[in-house]
Amino acid sequence: MSKRIAAIDVVRGYCLVNIYINHIMVGVLHKFSPSNFGLSDSADLFVFLAGVSTYLAYGKLDPRDGVRVLWRRAAKLYGCNILLIVCTLAILAALAALLDTDILLSAPELRALAGKPWPVAAWHVVTLQQSVGFSMVLRLYVGLMLIAPLFLWLASRRWWWALPPAVLVWIVAGHWRLVDHDSLTGVPMTLSPLPWILIFVGGVALAAAMTQQVRLPRTRLLAGAALTLVVGYLALLHAQPYWPEAKAWVATREGAFWLGGSKSMVSPLRVLHLLALVYLFVAFRDAPVIRLAYRARPRSFLAVLGRRSLPVFVAGAVLAVAANELLNLANLRWGQGSLSAMLLETLLAAGGIAALWVVAEARWFGGLSFGRSRSTNSLAAQSR
């Protein structure tokens, strides 16, 4: 019986909490998120860990069995995404019935759907061509599971074989801006499968290297480069007021691929930042903070959230939409940053996290997760 890697669940649980807080975008708490101090954020790490977990769970399957199992997971993710969209629309419709629609943050999406005949609107929903709420995240995972069998098969032969085709797809998609757009509003989607393939396959490659007993190189040069990239970006953020060029770059980084920090196109600098964080986490397991993840118990709060990541994410995405709309009303009435609005945001954040814990502990969700992080190997072994 293979043993679950608690450290993966802990990091994934942290990502889920951070994603929930970041999704409450009209408040102030998200400004203190660690995601604001790095080029990559919890979404990058979450997708990377999905690649790790997917290989650890299914990397040794026969190719035909792999296609069957992974496409069945894609169908499950698709069903969860439809559930997420339906619940999100139900909440928004209820609020629209009680309030002036124009004050809702999601009014453009609601009007776009309402302006179409219901069969057309339903078609846009079931074909995942639109981005109601935060449904684009699961949409990404559906696409990744559909193409995962090929990359798992390549990585099972040699851990690095999956990387060249993934890099090629990533470069083409990023350079020519091959990102999806919402079919109703025309707004670019943040998470399009083609640019994000590399992040997922990077996780697949790491897990394959673990399984194939490849030892992670631990040198001063690599450690110094990783620390320089992570700390250097922090220094750049603090230097903005005194460095006009740095301030201009940060302000426009989302629109550039090669030398920017685009999330939708997954820029090279963003990939390097993520790899630096992963390297430091795997290579220096006894470092402060990092060792807490390795020593966490399977029943710890974050580990439980990470183990039930799929229902927890769905619940968090729906709750975040409701929290945004309620907090927007509070901001309109009391002013953003006012004591009353901040108290409400704190209650919404704490109540939401408590609800995620309840969902994670609920037995009827079974073992739903974005990937089962089980393996006879451990991340700790890679740092020795």
pLDDT reported for residue 171: 97
Condensed to tens digits (0 to 9), the pLDDT of residues 210-240 reads 999 999 999 999 999 999 999 999 999 889 8
**Average of per-residue pLDDT across 37-48:** 93
Condensed to tens digits (0 to 9), the pLDDT of residues 152-175 reads 999 999 999 999 999 999 999 999
Condensed to tens digits (0 to 9), the pLDDT of residues 122-132 reads 998 899 988 88
Percent of the chain with pLDDT over 90: 74
pLDDT bin (cut points 50, 70, 90) of residue 368 is low
* Greatest alpha-carbon span in the chain: 62
3-state secondary structure string, the chain?
Answer: CCEECHHHHHHHHHHHHHHHHHHCCCCCHHHHCHHHHCCCCHHHHHHHHHHHHHHHHHCCCCHHHHHHHHHHHHHHHHHHHHHHHHHHHHHHHHHHHHCCHHHCCCHHHHHHHHCCCHHHHHHHHHCCCCCCCCCHHHHHHHHHHHHHHHHHHHHHHCCCCCHHHHHHHHHHHHHCCCCCECCCCCCECCCCHHHHHHHHHHHHHHHHHHHCCCCCCCCHHHHHHHHHHHHHHHHHHHHHHHCHHHHHHHHHHHHCCCCCCCCCCCCHHHHHHHHHHHHHHHHCCCCCCHHHHHHCCCCCHHHHHHHCHHHHHHHHHHHHHHHHHHHHHHHHHHCCCCHHHHHHHHHHHHHHHHHHHHHHHCHHHCCCCCCCCEECCCHHHHHC
pLDDT bin (cut points 50, 70, 90) of residue 102 is confident
pLDDT reported for residue 203: 98
Can you tell me the distance from the alpha carbon of 45 to that of 48, in angstroms, rounded to the nearest whole number?
5
pLDDT bin (cut points 50, 70, 90) of residue 380 is very low
Can you tell me the distance from the alpha carbon of 48 to that of 56, in angstroms, rounded to the nearest whole number?
13
**Average of per-residue pLDDT across 179-195:** 89
**Average of per-residue pLDDT across 341-360:** 96
**Position with higher pLDDT, 325 vs 103:** 325
Q: Are residues 74 and 223 in contact, defined by beta-carbon separation less than 8 angstroms? A: no
**Average of per-residue pLDDT across 60-78:** 96
- What the block records as the tokens of 193 is 């499968």
**Average of per-residue pLDDT across 356-363:** 91
pLDDT reported for residue 376: 40
**Position with higher pLDDT, 381 vs 335:** 335
pLDDT reported for residue 114: 82
pLDDT reported for residue 149: 97
Q: Are residues 317 and 139 in contact, defined by beta-carbon separation less than 8 angstroms? A: no
pLDDT at 381 over 50: no
Percent of the chain with pLDDT over 70: 93
Q: How far apart are the first and last CA of the chain?
A: 24
**Average of per-residue pLDDT across 181-194:** 88
pLDDT reported for residue 173: 97
Token pair 């939409």 is found at 321
pLDDT reported for residue 157: 96
Return the domain boundaries, the chain. Answer: 3-370
Q: What rounded mean pLDDT belongs to the chain?
A: 90
Q: Are residues 18 and 12 in contact, defined by beta-carbon separation less than 8 angstroms? A: no
Q: Are residues 144 and 197 in contact, defined by beta-carbon separation less than 8 angstroms? A: yes
Give the range with max mean pLDDT: 73-82, 246-255, 371-380: 73-82
pLDDT reported for residue 370: 61
- Minimum mean pLDDT among 7-21, 92-106, 165-179, 253-267: which range? 92-106
pLDDT at 91 over 60: yes
pLDDT at 274 over 50: yes
pLDDT at 34 over 50: yes
Can you tell me the distance from the alpha carbon of 177 to that of 257, in angstroms, rounded to the nearest whole number?
8
pLDDT reported for residue 375: 47
pLDDT reported for residue 108: 82
